Amino acid sequence: MNNHSIALFASGNGSNALNIIGYFKENPTIHVAVLICNKKDAPIVQKATDAGVEVLVFDNEAFENGLTVLQELDYRAIDWIVLAGFLRKIPTNLINGFPNRIINIHPSLLPKFGGKGMYGHFVHQAVYDAKETETGITIHLVNEEFDKGEILAQFKTPLSPADTPALIAQKISLLELSNFPTIVERTIKNQQQ
Ligand code: GRF
């Protein structure tokens, strides 16, 4: 079996990123090689460092240009990118450099509650306002259209009228933590030639 190196991209708290780092720690063929962040004071920077993962922080200009990021990924022979709570748009050169090899997680059942401005608590608030009776997560490949790449998996959870946006966030977090790493692993294993 081939070896695979993941670059995790995260912008904030990083509970999903840290969970993925832990999940692949003992994996013989898939490992998290680097964590890439766009905010130097994001909690995930310290958490990933403490977990023994190299961290690279790029400013917004570097992300928009994409070239330096691409070079750093090439240098580390990265073959998969996993977006785990990464809040910037991925530039075209990165998408083209990793065709069908960028995985994102979105905290709703896409195509519902996706697109520009739909992230974090905005999603949970919108789900609440729409009086949805269920919500969930979508794990998908990234292409040039925001939140519209091929869906790899969706997981659902029922909602009751008592579920406030904060409670919805908790339900979503549980779904993400228990399902994201296994879908990443399955996707990588399925795509190897
Ligand atoms: C998650 O809900 C994820 O679906 C979304 O951003 C959130 C990140 O949370 N894309 P965390 O940083 O992993 O705690």
Mean pLDDT of the chain: 94
Q: Which one, of 19, 35, 12, lies nearest residue 174 by Cα?
A: 19
The pLDDT of residue 193? 46
Q: Which range, of 5-14, 172-181, 184-193, averages the lowest pLDDT?
A: 184-193
How far is 193 from 175, CA to CA, in rounded Å? 30
Cα of 193 from ligand 1 centre, angstroms:
31
Average pLDDT over every residue of 152-171: 97
Residue 135, φ and ψ in degrees, nearest 5: -145, -165
Identity (one letter) of the amino acid at 142?
Answer: V
* Residue whose CA is at the smallest distance from ligand 1 atom 1: 85
DSSP 27-59: -SSEEEEEEEES-TT-HHHHHHHHTT-EEEE--
pLDDT bin (cut points 50, 70, 90) of residue 163 is: very high
Out of 4, 31, 106, 121, the active site residue is: 106
Residue with tokens 């785990």: 84
Instruction: Dump pLDDT digits (tens) for 26-50.
Output: 999 999 999 999 999 999 999 999 9
Q: Where are the alpha helices (DSSP H) in 76-140?
A: 92-97, 120-129
48 to 4, 38, 78, 184, 192: CA distances (angstroms): 19, 14, 17, 18, 27
Residues whose beta carbon lies within 6 Å of some atom of ligand 1:
10, 12-17, 84-85, 105-107, 120, 172, 176
Q: Which residues pair with 5 in a beta bridge?
A: 31
Q: 1 pLDDT exceeds 80?
A: no
Q: Is 121 a catalytic residue?
A: no
H helix intervals, the chain: 15-24, 43-50, 60-65, 67-75, 92-97, 120-129, 165-191
Whether the predicted pLDDT of 19 surpasses 50? yes
pLDDT digits (tens, 9 = 90+) for 79-129: 999 999 998 889 999 999 999 999 999 999 999 999 888 998 999 999 999
